[in-house]
Structure 1
């Protein structure tokens, strides 16, 4: 990864955060909770940025439709996130697979 890639990545992240900051306060709070949860469970797709951008797109549509954030995602942020990434591999999955593989090699 070159310096230009790093600079472009920062530029894209700042633009993303500006979109989040433009959301109503209740949406911002929920977005930050979603982001924290996703960073914790670590879906592999999170790296390319499309997952978080898609959530902001979804929230922007909800705001435009005059819907509350709870109307969109329900009462359980974790359940919403789990549903988003249910078919995704996580870094925890990769780690677990590597541990199982290393245990098999020892036998």
Structure 2
């Protein structure tokens, strides 16, 4: 990863966060909780950017439709997050496989 890649990544992240800050306060609070949850759970595809960007797109559509954030995702933020990544591998799963001692299960 070169310096240009790092700079471009920062620009994209700042643009992403500017979109989040343009959301109503209740949406921002829920987005930050979702972000914290995903950073803890660690879905592998989180860092390609499409998951969090898709959530912001979904939230922007909800705002445009005049819906509250809880109307969109329900009352349980963690359940909403789990449903989004239910078919994705997580770093926690990879770690568990690596320490389980099963040959050939750990990714290299």
Same fold (TM over 0.5): yes
More helix per residue: 1
Q: Secondary structure at the match of 2:23?
A: coil
Give 1:11's aligned residue: 11
1:97 deviates by 1.1
Give 2:87's aligned residue: 87
1:99 deviates by 1.2
Q: Secondary structure at the match of 1:70?
A: helix
Contiguous gaps of at least 5 residues in structure 1: none
User: RMSD of the alignment, in Å?
Assistant: 0.8
State whether structure 2 residue 40 is matched by structure 1 residue 40. yes
Provide the TM-score with structure 2 as the length reference: 0.93
Pairwise mapping of residues 1-107 of structure 1 onto structure 2 (< 5 A)? 1-100=1-100, 103-104=101-102
Q: Kindly tell me: are residues 104 and 53 of structure 1, through their superposed partners in 2, closer, same or farther at Cα, counting changes over 3 Å?
A: closer
Q: Kindly tell me: are residues 26 and 98 of structure 1, through their superposed partners in 2, closer, same or farther at Cα, counting changes over 3 Å?
A: same
* Count of residue correspondences: 103
Cα distance in 2 between the residues matched to 1:35 and 1:49? 12
Q: Secondary structure at the match of 2:6?
A: helix
1:18 deviates by 0.1
Provide the TM-score with structure 1 as the length reference: 0.94
Q: Secondary structure at the match of 1:86?
A: coil
Cα distance in 2 between the residues matched to 1:31 and 1:41? 15
